[in-house]
Structures are given as structure tokens and as C-alpha cells.
Amino acid sequence: MHYAMRSKTVSGFTLIELSIVLVIIGLIIGSIVVGQDLIHAAQLRSLTTQYEKYRTATQTFINLYNCVPGDCANATDFFGQAPDDCRETYNVAPRTTTCNGNGDGYVGNPLCDQSGFMCDVVLTPIYQTSEPWTFWQQLSDAGLISGQYTGTGYCTTCPFNHQASINDHNVPDAGVNASGTAGVTYTVSPHLLWMVWSSPIGVNTFLLGHDQASDVDGNGITGGLIAADSLSIDTKIDDGNALTGTIRTRGATSVTCSDGSGNYTVQDSVTTCALDFINAF
């Protein structure tokens, strides 16, 4: 007796089909990477836009009130007097009442050491410690920027200079996450923030950084952007040199974010830099 042999057909992907699947997967991954790059580029552009917005708001305030916000010697005539000459602790509720500056044209004290951010409150008059925070408060009071701010940064429990800068509380939140990983332990927010100050290298300077370290002290804000991102911003606005022009890396980050000749260390994707926009207004 003869039995017919039944052949079994094993179906599977052909090489062509596998190739098509791999191409599709590659396209998907590529589109995700490109999308992330586009989002990151848009975020960096938003930082330059914010800088220009704050410069314009400051100049508009100067034109309207004939004084620099924060430094304005008669600010309370326009916005009311805050209690205790803005020496309450940084965590008071945001408010519109403010304090007068000394009217010297500088936000903060231009004689203070850059590495120390601003002078210790024990050693300086009240106006020199409140001006960097009443600056943002008064811009907001005048309707020139969004948000509401406390007008004080005094912090008796903070180390270093006893000054605290908190996103969307007494300084603006930049809305963009800090990049890099070195030393980034956020107290309040992973977002970058804006501050303003004066030092011997440049008066009325905007600072872009983040609340690095495990405290809320302003002196801890020494990073936030990897060198490649810092270079991108510097090139769009200024000369692309970390040590010259109106945009420079701040304090200790000048050493870690550039090669000593002003070239950003773009190969370093870990170390974070802070940027000074000096003589901004």
C-alpha cells in the first residue's frame, strides 16, 4: 500500500519583507530623534526670545518711570510700600507692594564679587539685597511681564550669601529644563530661571541658570546649560566666545565650559554652564 506524502509548507518573512520592516523601524526612530532635536532647538530659541522680552520690558519701564526697575528710588509712590523693607524671608507670598532702591542706576551692588553673586546681606544696605528681586516684581507691577513676585530673596537659613532665588516665586521660570547632569540636584524645579545682578565685570546683567545644589541659595546657581547649548545661544545673540562680548559663562563655569581661550567645550555633554548677559540695559 502506498501512502501519499504530504508536504508541509512553512510560511515566514522573506528577506525583502524583513528589509521593509527594518526600514520602517529606522524611519520611525529617525523621526523621533529629529523631532526631539527640533523641540530642543525651539526651546533654545525661546530662551533668546525671553532675553529680548525682558530687555524690552526693562527699557519700557525706564521710559515710563524714569528709573531702573528694582533700583527705582520712588517705586513705592507707584506700587505701594512692602512691610519690613523687603527683608522678609524669600518664601513670603507674592505681592504687589514693593521697596525703593537707591537710584544709582544699578540693580544690586556693582562692587560685589562675581563669584559671590551679590554681597552678603549682613555687609550691605537693604536696598542692595532687595533690588535683584524687586526688579522682577516691579516689572510685573507695571504690567510689562507676566507672573507675580515677592520682591524679596532674604534667606536666613541659606548658606553663602543668604539669598534665595525660586522659579516663579521671586524670579521668572524660563520654562526650559536644564541640560547636562553634573551637580544638578534641583530644590524646586528642573527648569532654568532668570535673575539680574551687577558685578565688576558688568552692571545690570541678566543671569540664566538653575537652582543647582541642595539649597535655595542664589550663589548655588552656577549651571544649567551644556556648553553646546550655551554656544548656540551665544552665537545667535553675540560673538560665540565664552569669555568676551555681552554673553559670557559665569564664574566658575568659565573654566569648566571653555578651554580658557573662550572656545566652548562642546564635546562635554555633562558639565553645565551658566550664562551672564552683561550690560543688558
Per residue in 264-277, pLDDT (tens digit) is: 999 887 767 889 99
pLDDT digits (tens, 9 = 90+) for 167-183: 888 899 998 887 755 44
pLDDT attached to residue 209 = 84
Section 118-143 average pLDDT: 71
Q: Give the global pTM.
A: 0.79
Q: For residue range 15-56, list pLDDT tens digits in order.
A: 787 778 788 887 777 666 656 677 778 888 999 999 999 999
Is residue 221's pLDDT more than 60?
no
pLDDT digits (tens, 9 = 90+) for 100-124: 988 989 887 655 544 334 444 444 4
**Predicted pLDDT of residue 10:** 55
Q: How confident is the model at residue 8 (pLDDT cuts 50, 70, 90)?
A: low
User: Rounded to whole angstroms, how far apart are CA atoms 281 and 54?
Assistant: 10
